């Protein structure tokens, strides 16, 4: 569990072998980009993508966009080589695909920490995002989310999960609804971020909005993006409204005034305000980039 | 070092460069054929980057063809490193 706040309404996948998209990664407006060495890269281009991502990360300015890298699973011939190149560069996070058990995360962290030791790097800077994409991963998600201080987000991979469940993905998400909610609950219990899967139809803006609103309603903190065109809709849904921001501002301001006077619980407009309400209000203000003066 | 096999890396996409490497007979040195859509503006710099990377790997007896579509320096270096390692049969963590 981590207490560092990172705005992750949108996470844009960028294929790791596409220099044009990588070099523009910081200007699409996503909160976070994910340089992908896994599914977006052909099996005979893994070396090319890894070298390209390494070089780009060294020199390209991504401005204030969070940069994460999705590596290949350690059970493939590519995973270890990915970690050897990427860990020394300390992206904000490593995203690990098809995470199925806490034992797997422990093994991954051991390898990461060995590489960090060789390079004189700390063990607490770069975090880990566990992707839950299999039925087994869904069953073990709470332990995956809660047992490691470096896991600061979990995500659901809808396409792989439906394949693993041997069902067809439908626009209403019925087949993965249980998984979505179980993953959200594991994240909430662990106080970490939880990112929803991609919406695959880039031409269906209404469908994207509907699915994003649903994801927000059940507790997701952000959504993965496969095309920059999807970013605005996702941000609109996940950004608090002006009314929400005003209310949150008032709650936090009153809380500080009352705290200074030694009062823990108070009322605004006849409604009780206590610690959980304040925490929610502070989260809304951080999302909206608003500070209480 | 001398290339063992013919190899290539990169693409013809914009902001990318494609490198093709072939081994030449012993004592042939380096034969470079470089074309770029931005040759007039950045040709000199492109040539320097290529020479620098070839020197790093001490490459000789090599025929190198480059077709550049405006790649940035990190891309040029990455693509050439990949092509050289493939030509030396030293690439790691990939299917061939």
pLDDT > 90: percent of chain B: 93
Asked, for residue B1, whether it belongs to a domain, the answer is no
Domain of residue B26, residue span: 7-87
For residue B61, the distance in angstroms to the closest alpha carbon of chain A comes to 23
A45-71 tens-digit pLDDT = 999 999 999 999 999 999 999 999 999
Residue A1 pLDDT grade (very low, low, confident, very high; cuts 50, 70, 90):
very low
Predicted pLDDT at B60? 96
Instruction: Kindly give the pairing relationship between strand A271-273 and strand A266-268.
Output: antiparallel
3-state secondary structure of A2: coil
Asked if the C-beta of A258 comes within 8 angstroms of chain B's C-beta atoms, the answer is: no
Predicted pLDDT at A3? 53
A153-200 tens-digit pLDDT = 999 999 999 999 999 988 889 999 999 999 999 999 999 999 999 999
**Would the ipTM clear 0.90, i.e. be above it?**
yes
Instruction: Kindly give the pairing relationship between strand A93-96 and strand A66-70.
Output: parallel
Q: Which residues of A touch B12 (CB under 8 A)?
A: none
Does the pLDDT value for residue A88 go beyond 90?
A: yes
Asked, for residue B94, whether it belongs to a domain, the answer is no
Q: CA-CA distances (angstroms) from residue A89 to A59, A83, A115, A122?
A: 11, 10, 11, 12
pLDDT > 70: percent of chain B: 100
Asked, for residue B43, whether it belongs to a domain, the answer is yes
Compute the mean pLDDT over every residue in chain B, rounded to the nearest whole number: 96
Give the CATH H-level superfamily of domain A10-238: Phosphoenolpyruvate-binding domains (3.20.20.60)
Find the closest chain B residue to A60 by CA distance. B74
Find the closest chain B residue to A80 by CA distance. B93
The answer to whether residues A273 and A267 touch, using CB atoms and an 8 Å cutoff, is: yes
Asked, for residue B56, whether it belongs to a domain, the answer is yes
Total domains, chain B: 1
The answer to whether residues A99 and A131 touch, using CB atoms and an 8 Å cutoff, is: yes
Instruction: Kindly give the pairing relationship between strand B7-9 and strand B17-23.
Output: antiparallel
Compute the mean pLDDT over every residue in chain A, rounded to the nearest whole number: 95
Whichever domain contains B46, its CATH number is 3.30.230.10
Option in A23, A47, A55 nearest B91 (CB): A47
3-state secondary structure of A119: coil
Domain boundaries along the sequence of chain A: 10-238, 242-287
Extract the tokens encoding A208.
């994207």
The answer to whether residues A179 and A157 touch, using CB atoms and an 8 Å cutoff, is: no
Residue A4 pLDDT grade (very low, low, confident, very high; cuts 50, 70, 90):
low
CB within 8 Å of chain B, chain A residues 104-123: none
B40-80 tens-digit pLDDT = 999 899 999 999 999 999 999 999 999 999 999 999 999 99
Asked, for residue B37, whether it belongs to a domain, the answer is yes
């Amino acid at each position: 569990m981590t207490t560092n706040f990172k705005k992750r309404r949108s996470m844009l996948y960028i294929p790791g072998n596409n220099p044009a998209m990588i070099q523009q990664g910081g200007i699409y407006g996503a909160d976070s980009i994910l340089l992908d060495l896994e599914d977006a890269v052909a099996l005979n281009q893994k070396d090319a993508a890894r070298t390209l991502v390494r070089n780009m990360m060294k020199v390209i300015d991504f401005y204030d966009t969070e940069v994460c890298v999705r590596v290949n699973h350690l059970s493939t011939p590519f995973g270890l080589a990915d970690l050897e190149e990427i860990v020394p560069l300390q992206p904000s996070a490593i995203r690990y695909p098809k995470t199925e058990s806490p034992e797997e995360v422990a093994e991954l962290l051991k390898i990461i920490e060995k590489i960090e030791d060789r390079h004189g790097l700390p063990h607490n800077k770069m975090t880990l995002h566990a992707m839950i994409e299999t039925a087994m991963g869904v069953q073990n998600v709470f332990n995956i989310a809660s047992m490691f201080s470096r896991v600061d987000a979990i995500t659901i991979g809808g396409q792989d999960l439906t394949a693993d469940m041997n069902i067809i993905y439908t626009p209403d998400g019925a087949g993965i609804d249980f998984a979505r909610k179980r993953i959200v609950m594991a994240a909430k219990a662990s106080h970490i971020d939880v990112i929803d899967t991609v919406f695959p139809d880039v031409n269906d803006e209404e469908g994207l909005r509907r699915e994003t609103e649903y994801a927000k309603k059940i507790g997701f903190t952000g959504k993965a993006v496969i095309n920059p065109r999807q970013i605005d809709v996702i941000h609109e849904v996940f950004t608090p409204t002006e009314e929400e921001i005003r209310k949150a501002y008032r709650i936090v301001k009153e809380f500080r005034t009352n705290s200074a006077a030694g009062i823990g619980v108070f009322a605004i407009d006849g409604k009780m305000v206590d610690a959980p309400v304040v925490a929610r209000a502070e989260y809304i203000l951080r999302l909206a980039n608003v500070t209480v003066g | 070092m001398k290339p063992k096999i013919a190899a290539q890396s990169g693409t013809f996409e914009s902001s990318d460069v494609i490198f093709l490497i072939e081994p030449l007979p012993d004592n042939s040195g380096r034969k470079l054929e470089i074309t770029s859509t931005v040759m007039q503006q950045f040709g000199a710099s492109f040539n320097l980057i290529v020479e620098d990377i070839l020197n790093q790997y001490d490459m000789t007896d090599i025929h190198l063809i480059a077709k550049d579509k405006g790649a940035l320096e990190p891309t040029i270096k990455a693509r050439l490193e990949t092509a050289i390692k493939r030509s030396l049969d030293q690439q790691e963590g990939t299917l061939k």
